[in-house]
Amino acid sequence: MKFFIDTANLNEIREAASLGILDGVTTNPSLIAKEGKPFKETILAICNVVDGPVSVEVTATDAGGMCQQARDFTTWHKNVVIKLPTTRDGVKACKCLSDDGIPTNLTLCFSANQALLVAKAGATYVSPFVGRLDDISHVGMDLVRDVVQIYKNYGYKTQVLAASLRHPLHVVEAALAGAHVSTIPFKVLDLMFRHPLTDRGLDQFLKDWEKVKS
């Protein structure tokens, strides 16, 4: 499974990249706004840190406007992936961009039908939002499982990018479900390393090493 980091914070991205296990980055307008720097400047800085797909979201709501923005974004850096909302216009724009070989990530996907539509439009990635479904008392991971299965049934090439992940168990469940990618907030990535038995075991090894090192 590929690991993307779900943030626009450069320090977090640098730290995650330094681990050597980072495959890409997802951003959205809210994540970029949180950093308080201009949109393009932030994206370019991210692209200079991570050599992998960087999702950049359009803000136009009509297909023509989305395609226009997308064509501009793709000139910014070779790793830009165009993030489009899973709406009628988003799917239309996805089809045009896919036909021209421009990579896309269809975001705000909340149903298997939406995922089917975006696969037919040739999306590179689809982003089912797990945590936001959990928030309204649906089991978000069921959507990831369904989409993985549906894509397998028909051999769709669209990669399932589990998004809106809120805790380490979400990452495990996404991996068990066969998601191609998990996009992980920095805090969750950090928690994935932690286990008290690892800390306790290492502590003991180091104490014992002190007894025998000379």
* Residue 86 engages ligand E4P in binding (rule: CB under 6 A): no
* Residue 132 engages ligand E4P in binding (rule: CB under 6 A): yes
Which one of the spans 45-53, 125-133, 149-157, 169-177 is the region binding ligand E4P (CB under 6 A)? 125-133
**80, 102 contact by CB (below 8 A):** no
Residue 92 annotated among the catalytic residues of the structure: no
Beta strand spans in the chain (E): 2-6, 24-26, 54-57, 80-85, 104-109, 125-128, 159-162, 181-184
Catalytic residue among 83, 207, 211, 213: 83
* Residue 163 engages ligand E4P in binding (rule: CB under 6 A): yes
Which one among 107, 114, 158, 159 touches ligand E4P, defined by CB under 6 A?
107
* # residues contacting ligand E4P (CB under 6 A): 11
Taking CA atoms, 192 is separated from 12, 170, 186, in Å, by: 15, 11, 10
Residues 6+ apart with CB under 8 A from 139: 133
Q: Which of residues 170-189 bind ligand E4P (CB under 6 A)?
A: 183
Q: Which of residues 17-76 bind ligand E4P (CB under 6 A)?
A: 26, 28
Percentages (nearest 5) of helix, strand, coil residues in the chain: 55, 20, 30
CA 10/CA 121 separation, integer angstroms: 32
* Residue 127 engages ligand E4P in binding (rule: CB under 6 A): yes
Which residues contact ligand E4P by CB under 6 A? Answer: 6, 26, 28, 107, 127, 129, 131-132, 163-164, 183
